[in-house]
Amino acid sequence: MTLPGTLIIARHHESEWNKEGKWTGTRDVHLTDYGFKKSEEMGLLLKGTHIDAAYASMQVRTIETLSCMLNVLEEYHVPIEHSAALNERDYGDYTGMNKWDMEKVVGEEAFESMRRDWDYPIPHGETLKMVYARVVPFYLEKILPQLKEGKTILVVSHGNALRALMTYLESIPEEHVRELEMLFGAVVLYHVDEEGRMVTKDIRTVTSEVHA
């Protein structure tokens, strides 16, 4: 059975550290001017959609993206909740380091494993599996009941936090997680079943040039 509600997920747009090619992780970094502009365009992708409730991480780049989206939608009274469960993956010792310099040091294969694999360790940081362990329970406990009530819920989070959520939503096996991406400028609308798993998926995008 398809639930009456709609789940909408969006990734924050370009931050200052995205622009510099740095691993941001749990560090608080603002959007660039380009990120603000594109966040407004992302909001326009949902023109005519009423948002019943919105969620973002505790990090300022998602808060700024969400604010831009709701402003262009003229949705000024939406209940908003910020949760650390939606925070970006903690990159531990790699936080603040330049990704492309690191790729040269460790090699392409290790670099891609570090960024994209399910359970690849990061010194003093999180694996994607660990991110999944906090994001999915939050979704099941806080958001799914509202989808059962027919509400439209907007979640603005981070690349890896959303990849973890999509792994559950789309029932993606661990061995295929590396191929999963949540693009900058994408807004994804899901209708889900009683377990909160995808029945239908609608991807809307704005043109985005982010080297991150």
pLDDT, one tens digit per residue, over 52-95 is 999 999 999 999 999 999 999 999 999 999 999 999 999 999 99
Element (H, E) at 106: helix 99-106
Q: pLDDT tens across 90-110, in order?
A: 999 999 999 999 899 889 998
Q: Which sequence positions are flagged as catalytic? A: 12, 88
Strands 186-192 and 198-205: antiparallel
* Residue 42 one-letter amino acid: M
Which residue ranges make up each domain of the chain? 6-205
Q: What is the dihedral of CA 134, 66, 14, 57, to 10 degrees?
A: -20
Fold of 6-205: Rossmann fold (3.40.50)
Reported pTM = 0.96
